Amino acid sequence: MDYFAPAVRQLLGAELTPAQLAAFRAYAAALSEWNEKFNLTAIKDAAGIEIKHFADSLSCLLAIRAAPPVPRPAFVDVGTGAGFPGLPLKIMCPDIRLTLVESVGKKVTFLEHLVRALDLKDVTVLKARAEELGRLEAHREHYDWALARAVAEMPVLLEYLLPLVKVGGRALAQKGGNAPAETQASERAARLLGGALAQIVPVELPGVVEPRYLVVFRKTAATPAKYPRRPGVPSKEPLK
């Protein structure tokens, strides 16, 4: 963790405990091992994993800390892939309740292995698509926070996330340099889904030149029953 601990200190002003450092070391080792068999992530070098996966995931705390606190909040991470940003947040904030949503079987298997290996409590791994999950009573408008990183364009992403968020909760999208333009173009989609822009937080990852943003939408009203539309429709026909 030569790069990670200093990055967390610089980014969040936080110190990792020995137990947290051990968990992140085990995470990095498992990711490297599984990447030899399965293509879980394109980033495979130690510095990339520590900064562009782990530290980038924890940058979500810049927005989460700015929102009103919720006791034992429920998080859902949509299209989590190899667990980002949800699992690093769980390691850093063990009191959160976390649901990881991924549609690719090999990634689901990795997540299940990792949750067991790290002995993480209150973590559920689901093999599902966001459009399906958002129509299930057990998950619709159930979560305090819905998260996603590099999953889809903003109007599509909002149709995945906002139906899962309870009124008063928040959807958080991790985005690159086009975030301001994407956000402006998705204002109507947000309104249709019961959301409104809360904040855009710029993120400076140590050693990373490309701009990063956290885009946060607050759930202001219940999402109409017709959303999300059936799987595949949001990406083919984004709300405008």
What per-residue confidence (pLDDT) applies to 102? 97
> CA 143, CA 131: separation in Å to the nearest integer?
15
Output the pLDDT for position 34: 93
Alpha carbon separation from 20 to 53, 61, 82, 83, 205 (Å, rounded): 15, 16, 18, 16, 20
Predicted pLDDT at 87:
98
Domains with residue ranges and CATH for the chain: 4-236 (3.40.50.150)
Can you give the pLDDT at residue 25? 97
Parallel, antiparallel, or unpaired: how do β-strands 195-203 and 212-219 relate?
Answer: antiparallel
Which segments in the chain show pLDDT lower than 70? none
